[in-house]
Amino acid sequence: MATEIIREESNSLNRFETLTRMNPVEEFNAYRSKMNERIFDADNKVIKRIFNLDTNTYKEGALNVKTKELMGLSCSMVLRCDDCVKYHLEACMKAGVRKEEVFEAFSVASLIGGTIVIPHLRRAVEYWEELEKLNLDA
Amino acid sequence: MATEIIREESNSLNRFETLTRMNPVEEFNAYRSKMNERIFDADNKVIKRIFNLDTNTYKEGALNVKTKELMGLSCSMVLRCDDCVKYHLEACMKAGVRKEEVFEAFSVASLIGGTIVIPHLRRAVEYWEELEKLNLDA
Amino acid sequence: MATEIIREESNSLNRFETLTRMNPVEEFNAYRSKMNERIFDADNKVIKRIFNLDTNTYKEGALNVKTKELMGLSCSMVLRCDDCVKYHLEACMKAGVRKEEVFEAFSVASLIGGTIVIPHLRRAVEYWEELEKLNLDA
Amino acid sequence: MATEIIREESNSLNRFETLTRMNPVEEFNAYRSKMNERIFDADNKVIKRIFNLDTNTYKEGALNVKTKELMGLSCSMVLRCDDCVKYHLEACMKAGVRKEEVFEAFSVASLIGGTIVIPHLRRAVEYWEELEKLNLDA
Amino acid sequence: MATEIIREESNSLNRFETLTRMNPVEEFNAYRSKMNERIFDADNKVIKRIFNLDTNTYKEGALNVKTKELMGLSCSMVLRCDDCVKYHLEACMKAGVRKEEVFEAFSVASLIGGTIVIPHLRRAVEYWEELEKLNLDA
Amino acid sequence: MATEIIREESNSLNRFETLTRMNPVEEFNAYRSKMNERIFDADNKVIKRIFNLDTNTYKEGALNVKTKELMGLSCSMVLRCDDCVKYHLEACMKAGVRKEEVFEAFSVASLIGGTIVIPHLRRAVEYWEELEKLNLDA
């Protein structure tokens, strides 16, 4: 009897552990992908085209990808959108933005957007550190 | 001894499980009701009248409830208030808004408010699906 | 000599008068068209596609034009964009929205967006009245 | 003939001069009163009650009028609503707020809201000076 | 074997329990301090000076601390920044702001910012109650 | 007598003409300088330090001036601050940003911020053209 309870609990715990064992970057991207799929399934043309535009806007053009992603990052911060910040932080890292550069983008956004940006700055710094860890493993 | 530990753990787990077993719609509404009560207890006249107005504004008038709730929903999305979106999604479903209609409201809000609305769109779609599940059970 | 001065002044005045003789609706639309053209001349693909989407989003779909324009109007008010409000007010009038209905959209937006919406409400009411005058002439 | 033209121009000019001769405070309040009347004429209950609440909220309560108006002023600044700022500046002056105090409210709002508040700060300082002039005449 | 599983589970649970046993005020302040340190470590001069200014702005001046914190609180609410609200709620309590006063600040913010402030009001009231509990223990 | 009236009118007109003869860039900068001076005269330390920070933040660092000004421009657009946009447009031109680059910054801001950014885009394009004219004269 005791072992049955233990087994059941163990399963519950494992589900819980698995859930929390994903690192914050994977967790964010997994949720993002899952919901994007659901949104595409609904087949609303306007929304699909907005998603499409989103992909194209940050491509190399008169300005390079790095500059565009830094603009995307700072805009996301002043608009205080944590998920948008996370997305652009990963894109910035992939575009080769270094820590000092990211912090200068943070400083511009914090000055323009004021101290209400600071709680988002804290979470951004935490996420940047998670991205750095993953980068080191790679 | 072992069983004692098991029992204790079992209790801890049960508390945790109970907490997460409520569906997201019930959880949202339960917190909402609980805190509304606390707010009313404080007996601030201005706040009470704002709550009152909130109830009256969405009633049938020159415009029907469905149109008003769709306006409430799209305004909540462009202002990026997840809780407000949830509230109006439930009210929309009760007013007979269908999935394609809700997605058109989402498309208007995403276009007007831009891509920073998208993270809120993801959570809105997730919540709408939760509402659909409850509706099927009913 | 005196008549020369008069003539010159008269010209200055005429230029001034002509400028102000356009009604506010014509003035708004003239500026809008002129600048849209300049924007299109720059030939930025992303911006062109956003303008295109803007036209398509408000077309009849699962929701009718009237409902979509009322959503566009209320979103514009809570986001406190006077020009967007003006644009949607004209589209609402063309879609057959009546005064009581427009005021209910105003009421929803004022409640959701709070008293900072009121200065925009004043300008919206003024513009609606200008639209009504033009409608009477037609 | 010449005098006829002169007379006509003189009338045009007078109309123009009269328009601009009102000081900015009178102009703001005149437009405000005129449009509030139009809004009340439309007889939308929700809007009327919001206006009513607006009057009651700033009355003496647990907090005094001065503190409430300073909160109204700083909120209006961070939300970047010039008309709201003007309204609360006049109310602040009437409640006995001194220049150094108003500037401390400005400083709190500029820090919280960031440098995008600065253009509104410029217009706020300009309006405060207009209010001071009127006060000196009184 | 069974006891080994139990022990392991027990550890997992304890980590979970410890995590949730901190009260919400401690949890908020712990995260805040930890991330502020990381931000300071990055040594960006602009960000450091913004943090510095933040400390100085709310000090006694022409206006007293209580008034400044009430402005900080109401600005945070209309800008819908939960973390900022929490920070100023604690500072308000330390400055001697009473419950009725806090609710009047809430009422001003809810009126100015509209019903989208209400979800933030719920969380603010919940946090204020947590602060009250801690105060009673002291 | 007639000539006296003419002379008087002529003066009024001249004052009006002079006022409008300044180009929009000069007009903007003149108002900005005048009001900055008034703000500095008030001698509020926090505000002075915010102005100071504003100057330092956009200086060459890990990121170059051009990138920082492009971030400043796009942040100003998504926050829909016309005056801030004007300021950063001039700084962008001085930093050597070309027309296609400015339009890519506009495109990023319009996508992120949505169609409510468009009225600000119109005014930004108009101001950029004014800056181009001045540049050609130089």
From the CA of E101, how many Å to the nearest CA of chain A?
23
Note whether D85 and D120 are within 8 A (CB). Answer: yes
Give chain C positions within 8 Å (CB) of B107: 57
Exposed/middle/buried for residue E95 (C-beta within 10 Å: 0-12, 13-18, 19+): middle
D50 at interface of C, judged by CB pairs closer than 8 A: yes
pLDDT band at C40 (very low <50, low <70, confident <90, very high): very high
Query: Chains that contact C by 3+ CB pairs under 8 Å?
Result: A, B, D, E, F
B40 at interface of E, judged by CB pairs closer than 8 A: no
Provide long-range contacts, Cβ within 8 A and 24+ apart, for C19-27: C23/C130, C23/C133, C23/C134, C24/C126, C24/C127, C24/C130, C25/C90, C25/C127, C25/C130, C25/C131, C25/C134
B117 at interface of F, judged by CB pairs closer than 8 A: yes
Give chain C positions within 8 Å (CB) of E117: 114
CA angle C94-C99-C105, nearest 5°? 90
What digits encode the pLDDT tens for the residues F79-125? 999 999 999 999 999 999 999 999 999 999 999 999 999 999 999 99
Determine the average pLDDT of the residues in C101-109: 98
**What average pLDDT is seen over chain E?**
89
Cα distance between residue F108 and residue E87, in whole Å: 33
Cα distance between residue D46 and residue D66, in whole Å: 28
Q: At what angle do helices E45-57 and A99-113 cross, to 10 degrees?
A: 30
Cα distance between residue D33 and residue D121, in whole Å: 24
Contacts of residue E114, defined as CB under 8 A and 6 or more positions apart, other chains included, come to C78, C110, C111, C112, C113, C114, C115, C116, C117
ipTM of the complex: 0.85
Decide if pLDDT at A6 tops 50. no
Give chain B positions within 8 Å (CB) of D48: none
DSSP tag of A60: S
**What average pLDDT is seen over chain C?**
89
pLDDT band at B21 (very low <50, low <70, confident <90, very high): confident
Cβ pair E44:A115 closer than 8 A: no
Cβ pair B39:E122 closer than 8 A: yes
Q: In the numeric block, which tokens belong to residue A116?
A: 């209400």
Determine the average pLDDT of the residues in B26-38: 98
Decide if pLDDT at F33 tops 50. yes
C50 at interface of E, judged by CB pairs closer than 8 A: no
C17 vs C82, higher pLDDT: C82
Cα distance between residue F138 and residue F135, in whole Å: 5
Give chain E positions within 8 Å (CB) of C78: 114, 116
Name which CATH class applies to E24-137: mainly alpha
Decide if pLDDT at D127 tops 80. yes
pLDDT band at F6 (very low <50, low <70, confident <90, very high): very low
Decide if pLDDT at A108 tops 70. yes
**Residue among D5, D107, D117, D130 with most chain F CBs within 10 A, to mutate:** D107
**Residue among D80, D108, D116 with most chain A CBs within 10 A, to mutate:** D116
Check residue A21 and give its pLDDT.
73
Cβ pair B105:C78 closer than 8 A: no
Of E5, E12, E42, the CB nearest to A6: E5
**What average pLDDT is seen over chain B?**
89
Matching residue, tokens 């657009």: F77
Check residue D19 and give its pLDDT.
53
By three-state DSSP, how is residue F73 classified? Answer: helix
Cβ pair D119:F79 closer than 8 A: no
Task: Identify residue D122 by its one-letter amino acid code.
Answer: R
Matching residue, tokens 């003409």: F17
- Residue A131's CB: how many other CB atoms inside 10 A? 19
Cα distance between residue D37 and residue D43, in whole Å: 10
A20 vs B70, higher pLDDT: B70
Check residue B9 and give its pLDDT.
47
From the CA of D7, how many Å to the nearest CA of chain B?
51
Going from the C-alpha of C123 to that of each of C84, C89, C119, D111, E60, the distances in angstroms are 12, 11, 7, 30, 40
What digits encode the pLDDT tens for the residues A28-53? 999 999 999 999 999 999 999 999 99
Note whether E122 and B39 are within 8 A (CB). Answer: yes
Cα distance between residue E134 and residue F11, in whole Å: 71
DSSP tag of E49: H
Q: Which of F104, F107, B109 is nearest to A47 (CA)?
A: B109
A110 vs A16, higher pLDDT: A110
pLDDT band at A57 (very low <50, low <70, confident <90, very high): very high
What digits encode the pLDDT tens for the residues B53-64? 999 999 999 999
pLDDT band at B2 (very low <50, low <70, confident <90, very high): very low
What digits encode the pLDDT tens for the residues D101-116? 999 999 999 999 999 9
Going from the C-alpha of E28 to that of each of B38, E18, E35, E90, the distances in angstroms are 22, 15, 11, 11
Check residue A9 and give its pLDDT.
47
D112 at interface of A, judged by CB pairs closer than 8 A: yes
Domain extents in chain A: 24-137
Check residue C7 and give its pLDDT.
46
Check residue B135 and give its pLDDT.
72
pLDDT band at C69 (very low <50, low <70, confident <90, very high): very high
What digits encode the pLDDT tens for the residues E21-58? 789 999 999 999 999 999 999 999 999 999 999 999 99
By three-state DSSP, how is residue D63 classified? Answer: coil
By three-state DSSP, how is residue E95 classified? Answer: coil
Decide if pLDDT at A2 tops 60. no
Decide if pLDDT at F4 tops 80. no
Cβ pair D112:E75 closer than 8 A: yes
Note whether F114 and C50 are within 8 A (CB). Answer: no
Check residue A63 and give its pLDDT.
98
E32 at interface of A, judged by CB pairs closer than 8 A: yes
Determine the average pLDDT of the residues in F38-52: 97
- Residue C122's CB: how many other CB atoms inside 10 A? 18
Decide if pLDDT at E79 tops 90. yes
Note whether A12 and B13 are within 8 A (CB). Answer: yes
pTM value is 0.88
Give chain F positions within 8 Å (CB) of D9: 9
D132 at interface of F, judged by CB pairs closer than 8 A: no
Cβ pair A35:B110 closer than 8 A: no
E110 at interface of B, judged by CB pairs closer than 8 A: yes
Cα distance between residue A52 and residue B28, in whole Å: 33
Around F60, how many Cα atoms within 13 Å sit in the side-chain half-sphere?
Answer: 1
Query: Chains that contact F by 3+ CB pairs under 8 Å?
Result: A, B, C, D, E
Positions of E strands within F45-138: none
Check residue B10 and give its pLDDT.
46
pLDDT band at D21 (very low <50, low <70, confident <90, very high): confident
Give percent of chain D with pLDDT exceeding 70: 83
Cα distance between residue C61 and residue B100, in whole Å: 9
Q: Which of E59, F47, A120, A81 is nearest to D111 (CA)?
A: F47
Q: Which of A54, B73, B125, C56 is nearest to F112 (CA)?
A: A54
CATH number of B23-137: 1.20.1290.10
Cα distance between residue A59 and residue F104, in whole Å: 10
CA angle E49-D124-D51, nearest 5°? 115
pLDDT band at D18 (very low <50, low <70, confident <90, very high): low
F79 at interface of A, judged by CB pairs closer than 8 A: yes
Note whether B112 and C109 are within 8 A (CB). Answer: no
E110 at interface of D, judged by CB pairs closer than 8 A: no
Cβ pair B115:F110 closer than 8 A: no
Of A6, A103, A123, the CB nearest to E44: A103
Check residue C135 and give its pLDDT.
72
C64 at interface of A, judged by CB pairs closer than 8 A: no
Give percent of chain E with pLDDT exceeding 70: 83
What digits encode the pLDDT tens for the residues A67-93? 999 999 999 999 999 999 999 999 999
pLDDT band at D132 (very low <50, low <70, confident <90, very high): very high
Of A78, A112, A115, the CB nearest to D111: A115
Give percent of chain A with pLDDT exceeding 70: 83
Query: Chains that contact E by 3+ CB pairs under 8 Å?
Result: A, B, C, D, F
What digits encode the pLDDT tens for the residues E108-132? 999 999 999 999 999 999 999 999 9
Least confident of D81-95, F6-20, F67-81: F6-20
**What average pLDDT is seen over chain F?**
89
Give chain B positions within 8 Å (CB) of E118: 50-51, 54, 84
Check residue C20 and give its pLDDT.
57
